[in-house]
Amino acid sequence: MSAETILKIKDLKSGYGKVQILNGIDLEVKKGQIIALLGGNGTGKSTLIKSISGLIKPFEGSIKFYDNEISNLRPHKIVRQGLVQVTQGKEVFPDLSVEQNLKLGAFIIEDKKKVLENLQFVYKFFPILKEKRNQNAALLSGGQLQMLCIGRGLMSNPSFIMFDEPSAGLAPQIVLEIFKNINRICKSGLTVLIIEQNVRMALLLADYAYIIRDGIIHLQGKASELVNDDRVRLSYLGGTVAKV
């Protein structure tokens, strides 16, 4: 029995103002998968993830989450449905404490007991955040900031979590740790979509991958097969692709 499709995008066209970036995207995500969305700079990756999360209103097409059309919903209503976007580590509130930043991620939860339960879950997941919970976020390292963004995303009880280049600007050893954490998140029961510049790492992590170029899906397939495919290197212009 195949896994349930929880996100289905059909003929999505989107962009900024009158500038169209996405030219008809079709994409599916099944429950429990890690999906990698890869491509060079300016190919439409961030436009796609912002369209899914409601930060950009699509021009045309359909975005269904658990069979519910979400393309016209505002971002907070999409979060309430269980779909969360995790930003890069620099997008925190530097003058607030680690714990205050985390609690902002639980803005849709009214039950204070549940908020505390979620907080303890995040601290168990990232012990360093518990250790530094009273420090201002500005004092965290790059890797710790990324953990804080991931933890903040987990605070709303999502079933599907999207990562926008989580390894950007981080040292190689920290990148490895972040990818291990994303794998742990998936194993805890969540479904994951990840945008990454590090193609090889993303393909080693993912179950399935889409490569986007010129606003369309140029190539797709099982990540385990694409990781050794020469077409991946040809499609990923300007990326950090090493021959496996």
134 phi and psi angles, rounded to 5 deg: -95, 0
Measured distance CA(29)–CA(35) in Å, rounded: 7
The answer to whether 205 and 167 have CB atoms below 8 angstroms apart is: no
Distance CA 197, CA 240 (A): 7
- Asked if residue 242 belongs to a domain, the reply is no
234: Cα within 13 Å, side-chain hemisphere: 5
DSSP-based helix, strand, coil % in the chain, nearest 5: 35, 25, 35
Q: CA-CA distance, 167 to 197, in Å (whole number)?
A: 8
Domain hosting 198: range is: 5-235
Q: What's the pLDDT at 104? A: 94
User: Is residue 240 assigned to a domain?
Assistant: no
Q: What is the pLDDT of residue 118?
A: 94
> What value does the mean pLDDT of the chain take?
90
In a domain, 243, yes or no: no
Max avg pLDDT among 5-14, 161-170, 198-207, 211-220 = 5-14
Taking 70 as the threshold, does the pLDDT of residue 241 lie above it? no
Spatial CB neighbours of 3, under 8 Å, sequence gap ≥ 6: 30, 31, 32, 33
Residues 34 and 207 sit within 8 Å (Cβ to Cβ): yes
Task: Tell me what pLDDT residue 182 has.
Answer: 92
Average pLDDT on 215-232 reads 89
Task: Look at the alpha carbons of 164, 232, 5, 121 in this order and tell me if their dihedral is positive or negative.
Answer: negative
Query: What is d(CA 214, CA 59) in angstroms, rounded to the nearest whole number?
Result: 17
Note the pLDDT tens digit of each residue in 52-68.
999 999 999 999 999 99
Mean pLDDT of 28-50: 92
- Number of domains present in the structure of the chain: 1
Q: Which residue has the tokens 């385990």?
A: 224
Which residue spans within 31-181 are E strands per DSSP? 34-38, 60-65, 68-69, 83-86, 160-164
Instruction: Using pLDDT thresholds of 50, 70 and 90, give the confidence band for residue 42.
Output: confident
What is the DSSP code (8-state) at residue 72?
T
Specify the amino acid at residue 231: R
The answer to whether the beta carbons of residues 157 and 121 sit under 8 Å apart is: no
Output the domain CATH number for residue 100.
Answer: 3.40.50.300
pTM tops 0.85, yes or no:
yes
- The predicted-structure confidence for 71-88, as pLDDT tens digits, reads as follows 999 999 999 999 999 987
The label of the residue with tokens 């999409």 reads 78
- H or E stretch covering 52: helix 45-53
Q: Is residue 20 part of a domain?
A: yes
| Phi, psi for 84 (deg, rounded to 5) | -130, 140
Does 244 map to a domain?
A: no
Q: Nearest to residue 194, comparing CAs of 175, 179, 172, 174?
A: 179
Domain assignment present for residue 175? The answer is yes
Quick one: which of 77, 196, 99 has its CA closest to 155?
Answer: 99
Residue 28 inside a domain? The answer is yes
Residue 136 lies in a domain: yes
